[in-house]
Structure 1
Amino acid sequence: MNESGSPTLFRRPRRRLRAELAQILCAVVGLVGGLALPALPPSPAVLSKDIIGALFTIGFGVIGLASVVFSLLFLVVQFTSGTFTPRLNLFSDDPIVWRTFAFAVGVFIYTITAALAVAHRGRVSVVVPVVALLLALVAALLMRTVQLHAFVFIRLTPCLDEINQRTRRVHDAVYSAPYRDTPGEPVDLPAPVMPIRWSGRPVVLQQINVPALLTAATDHDVVIALRVPIGGQLFEGDLLAEVHQHAIPDQLLLRNTLTGRERTFDQDVTFGLRLLADIALRALSTAVNDPATAVQSLEQIHDLLRRLAGKELDIGYVADARARVRLVIPLPTWDDYLRLALDEVIVAASHSPMVLVRLRDLLLGLYDEVPRPRSSSVADRLRLVEDRLRSDFPREISA
């Protein structure tokens, strides 16, 4: 267990601007620009009748192109969900997707508003059509970027690499200390005096604001123990946390948690491994029967497990500046990671010698690298894989 006086367990939650708010913001900016720019002094100037048609053409052209592009991109989301895993949201969750559509909406509103605003003027500033042209070029570049992102996410290798990189980032943010041979002293918490339960629709716990919760617990002289891990599902009435020592307002915790409909990479340390295991399992299903894809997923799993092998994982006890535990966060153990990443794949790979051999190599490599206290769980799985190879594929075990 790790007790630290600095809240470095997670970064502060990143509250993304919602798609609806981004569209409203771009629409307001477009409206204001469409009303303000035609009022500029007409020097240098152009005739209003010469640009009205161009403004309408640019506006409807941009919004029409955006509609076509985004309609086609729905097929990309459907393809990745059906081919890899339904939980894969790399593309649909990318901010550039909905920000690009919001920008196109802003361009459309600017051009239409500007065209109507200059209709009763004889001459207007050349800034009006120049800005419309520049905005159209930027919108086209953004839509090209979105298309390139889509092409990346329908290919297996770039998709697996992206999952790996995002998982690495969250692991680096959470696990920074090397493995300790001597376990920390157990922490005795006072009896819980107040449960905090979730009320509302079913959601996923996506992020928590560790610095804010640590400060609040210190100021109120309490211990807040979360009972749901990041990425865990919450239903109405579920126990979200327990407060030790004395009661505090529920909102003190609830306003420092971020929930949503789907799991995200931001603070979820197991989400990437879950996705990679899902892709391997789908590839090993009788309907797909693609062991090579399962092997590629295992290569990424191997890389992530190697990075975790030498890290201290028991760090869920966060202390204040006086070394008093104030916040308890449930985090996976080494066995939890192995169970999540490998156990289901080992069972599903029983008919595939290619995948069993890759699993054997993965476990042999881990066994040589993990600290000795963690080697027994690796050895158990290695023995299971070798037994399956020995009984069903004896030629592979001797290779």
Structure 2
Amino acid sequence: MPFGPDRSAERVARPRRALRAGVAQVVAAGVGLALGLTLPAIDGGYQVTAERAVDVLKVAGVGVLSVATLFFSLLFLVVQWAAGNFSHRLVLFRDDPSVWRVFALVVGVLVFSVTATLAVGSDRTTSVAVPVTALVLSAAALVLVRRLLLDALRSIQLANVLADVRERGRTVLRSLFLPANGTGGAGGGGAPGERLPAVTSAVAWAAGSALVAQVDVVRLARTAARAEAVVVLTVPVGAPVYPGDVVAEIRGGSAPAAQALTAEVLEAVVPGTERVFHQDPALAFRLLSDIGLRALSPAINDPATAVQVLDAVEDLLRMVAGTELGARSVADGAGAVRVVLALPSWEELLRVGFDDLCRAASDAPMVLARARELLVRVREVALEERRPALEERLVWVEREFAGRHPAFLWGAAGR
């Protein structure tokens, strides 16, 4: 495994595609069709009148349609509410696997009800397994819908949203960033390039403009190993790409092998229309900053929410303050570097997660006080070379605070 024994890192390395949702629905429909054709054909065992069985199937089918209506209404309302109150980029509930799993079960129950009704036909009796299966599937749908409702309720509560964003951010950061004294192929800044062979060719983006949603790192590492080359990605996940942009450099290997590897690189870079958590280490910072900026807008004016946002930002910054940033080298099974990922630097993470929010908080003393506390505490655990960036921002916060709120005591963080 290119990411070593950490299975969470392996999950990050492999891209997720929307294909899973479609496959789940197709599988559920296939199972419903098979059950609808098989169960009515059972001759032995306890039998019930076909008329009663059909009544149960009709009730199950109508109930499923009602659940589907509720499903779509809930999805639309919750996504709209979260976008209007938190961030248009916040799609946690929409992308929750339980959403498409519930829909897949609804499709399966509906297909089973219709198929079994037609299979029973004009028979006088049918197996009791037919109505029992309809009831069991309907109960399972209700249980999942109840869970979906609870997830929807959580997704409109600030504390739960911040906790979810922070936890997803921690998962990606833990997988992509290694401790500064660790081994395993991570490089900070330009360090990996010093050990890499010369550039053989550059890979230009050939499709239309899009965002780099994910990268199939496992596929890239295996392909680069076969070509005895190294793929250096020059565009990080979450960044936009346009036709003709260089997305990667192929170093080492022969010219024919590099030419063949170019197509594999373009296939491994998965485009998208929006950023996703799966491999984007800066997305959590972006979302937290969005929520805080919206809370500090004149229309809302809720500095306490911005303070909670800074709590989550501090947690993420403390997590990466002692890690190697800027690049991540991925090795093959033999330990040779095969892929170099482009990752955000310390300055980029501070700029995305802290700067915009802090500058918007000039008129909110409790937020400035919390920002100062954040900088002081992160500075204590940060590497020596990262402290100047924190100290520069600390000077700015103190100057802004002294000029605008001289009567406010530093010790009051506004909790």
TM-score in terms of structure 2 length:
0.89
8 Å contact from structure 1 (residues 48, 123) kept in 2: yes
1:273 to 268, 272, 285: 285
Change in 2 beyond 3 A, CA 1:275/1:326: same
8 Å contact from structure 1 (residues 295, 355) kept in 2: yes
Alpha-carbon deviation of 1:317? 2.9
Counterpart-to-counterpart distance in 1, 2:61 and 2:209: 40
Change in 2 beyond 3 A, CA 1:158/1:24: same
What is aligned with 1:173?
175
Alignment of 1:234 onto 2:241 = yes
The higher-RCO structure (CA 8 Å, 6+ apart) is 1
Alpha-carbon deviation of 1:158? 0.3
8 Å contact from structure 1 (residues 38, 128) kept in 2: yes
Alpha-carbon deviation of 1:84? 0.3
Number of matched residues? 395
8 Å contact from structure 1 (residues 207, 259) kept in 2: yes
Counterpart AA for 2:85: T
Alignment of 1:331 onto 2:338 = no
Counterpart-to-counterpart distance in 1, 2:25 and 2:130: 22
8 Å contact from structure 2 (residues 369, 410) kept in 1: no
Q: Which region of structure 1 is more displaced relative to structure 2, 207-216 or 140-149?
A: 207-216
**SS where residue 329 of structure 1 aligns?**
strand
Counterpart AA for 2:279: Q
8 Å contact from structure 1 (residues 298, 359) kept in 2: yes
Alpha-carbon deviation of 1:190? 4.3
8 Å contact from structure 1 (residues 357, 396) kept in 2: no
Counterpart-to-counterpart distance in 2, 1:343 and 1:140: 46
Counterpart-to-counterpart distance in 2, 1:302 and 1:132: 50
What is aligned with 2:43?
41
Alpha-carbon deviation of 1:324? 4.5
What is the percent sequence identity of the aligned residues? 40
Alignment of 1:248 onto 2:248 = no
Structure 2: 5+ residue stretches without partners: none
Counterpart AA for 2:259: I
Alignment of 1:374 onto 2:386 = yes
- After superposition, give the CA deviation of every residue in 1:37-77 in whole Å (9 maximum; x if it has no partner): 11112421111112112211111112222212321331111
Q: Which region of structure 1 is more displaced relative to structure 2, 324-333 or 26-35?
A: 324-333
8 Å contact from structure 1 (residues 390, 397) kept in 2: no
**SS where residue 13 of structure 1 aligns?**
coil
Q: Which region of structure 1 is more displaced relative to structure 2, 100-109 or 380-389?
A: 100-109
- After superposition, give the CA deviation of every residue in 1:136-189 in whole Å (9 maximum; x if it has no partner): 000011111111100000000000000011111111111232457x97586154
**SS where residue 160 of structure 2 aligns?**
helix
- After superposition, give the CA deviation of every residue in 1:255-277 in whole Å (9 maximum; x if it has no partner): 33333222111111111111001
Change in 2 beyond 3 A, CA 1:213/1:398: closer
Alpha-carbon deviation of 1:397? 5.0
What is aligned with 2:273?
261
**SS where residue 13 of structure 2 aligns?**
coil
Change in 2 beyond 3 A, CA 1:40/1:237: farther
**SS where residue 274 of structure 2 aligns?**
coil
Alignment of 1:202 onto 2:209 = yes
8 Å contact from structure 1 (residues 7, 318) kept in 2: no
8 Å contact from structure 2 (residues 327, 340) kept in 1: no
- After superposition, give the CA deviation of every residue in 1:262-307 in whole Å (9 maximum; x if it has no partner): 2111111111111001111111111221111111111000111111
Counterpart-to-counterpart distance in 2, 1:293 and 1:5: 37
What is aligned with 1:384?
396
What is aligned with 1:117?
119
Alpha-carbon deviation of 1:104? 0.5
What is aligned with 1:152?
154
8 Å contact from structure 2 (residues 177, 328) kept in 1: no
8 Å contact from structure 2 (residues 50, 124) kept in 1: yes
Counterpart AA for 1:234: V
8 Å contact from structure 1 (residues 386, 397) kept in 2: no
Counterpart-to-counterpart distance in 2, 1:72 and 1:313: 40
Q: CA RMSD in A?
A: 2.3
What is aligned with 2:57?
55
8 Å contact from structure 2 (residues 296, 303) kept in 1: yes
8 Å contact from structure 1 (residues 223, 327) kept in 2: yes
Q: Which region of structure 1 is more displaced relative to structure 2, 298-307 or 389-398?
A: 389-398
Q: Which region of structure 1 is more displaced relative to structure 2, 235-244 or 220-229?
A: 235-244
Counterpart-to-counterpart distance in 1, 2:304 and 2:270: 38
TM-score in terms of structure 1 length:
0.92
Counterpart-to-counterpart distance in 2, 1:391 and 1:45: 85
